[in-house]
């Protein structure tokens, strides 16, 4: 079957994908006898789980590859311009792990202190009447922190009755 809409690039991509699939299966096993071994043995042998991970999947492999490509792009030399300078500045600040470790939680602590503190950090010196929860959350977001930096909120199945979702 030949379709003239396919370009040589698409044909090359199809060949690469087919080769990738072919390299991922254990061809010494008949899929009709043991499909799991046919489909998974070679994958497990060639894709070990890194010490800092709990799993590995095609999605995590693609994500890691994309991260490496983005880092390569960000580390490349760009032309001039305000937008590029700002991007470079933000990237450099994010990659400055020494400074991040030095500052630790100080930026967040400063925001919390500006808003009359947080009981967990202040113990007996905290005064409830001076505290406005929503104002603190708004300020935390305004200062660039994630909404869940103080609390984590999620919806998940109830552990006793999995047909019901609970806010946690």
* pLDDT tens digits for range 102-143: 888 888 788 777 777 777 777 777 777 877 878 878 887 887
In which band, very low, low, confident or very high, does the pLDDT at 81 lie, cut at 50, 70 and 90?
A: confident
CA–CA distances in Å: residue 139 to residues 13, 94, 100, 110: 48, 21, 21, 11
Query: End-to-end alpha-carbon separation of the chain, Å?
Result: 54
116 within a domain of the structure (yes/no): yes
Res 153 pLDDT > 90:
no
Confidence at residue 6, expressed as pLDDT on a 0 to 100 scale: 56
**pLDDT tens figures, 38-80:** 988 888 888 888 888 888 888 898 899 999 988 888 777 766 7
Confidence at residue 28, expressed as pLDDT on a 0 to 100 scale: 93
The candidate with the shortest Cα–Cα distance to 40, out of 28, 22, 24, is 24
70 within a domain of the structure (yes/no): no
Confidence at residue 100, expressed as pLDDT on a 0 to 100 scale: 84
Confidence at residue 138, expressed as pLDDT on a 0 to 100 scale: 83
67 within a domain of the structure (yes/no): no
> What's the domain range around 167?
105-168
Are 145 and 139 a contacting pair, CB within 8 Å?
no
54 within a domain of the structure (yes/no): no
79 within a domain of the structure (yes/no): no
Confidence at residue 113, expressed as pLDDT on a 0 to 100 scale: 79
68 within a domain of the structure (yes/no): no
The candidate with the shortest Cα–Cα distance to 25, out of 14, 39, 35, is 39
| Total count of domains within the chain | 1
41 within a domain of the structure (yes/no): no
């Amino acid at each position: 079957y030949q379709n003239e809409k396919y370009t040589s690039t698409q044909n090359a991509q199809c060949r690469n994908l087919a080769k990738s699939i072919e390299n991922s299966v254990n061809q010494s096993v008949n899929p009709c006898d043991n499909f799991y071994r046919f489909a998974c043995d070679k994958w497990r042998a060639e894709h070990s789980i890194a010490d800092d991970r709990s799993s590995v999947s095609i999605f995590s492999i693609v994500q890691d590859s994309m991260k490496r490509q983005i880092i390569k792009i960000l580390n490349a030399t760009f032309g001039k311009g305000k937008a590029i300078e700002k991007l470079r500045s933000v990237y450099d600040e994010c990659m400055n792990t020494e400074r991040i470790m030095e500052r630790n939680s100080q930026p967040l602590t400063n925001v919390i202190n500006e808003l009359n503190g947080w009981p967990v950090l202040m113990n007996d010196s905290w005064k409830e009447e001076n505290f406005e929860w929503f104002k603190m959350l708004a300020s935390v977001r305004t200062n660039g922190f994630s909404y869940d930096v103080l609390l984590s909120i999620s919806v998940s199945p109830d552990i006793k009755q999995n047909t019901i979702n609970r806010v946690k």
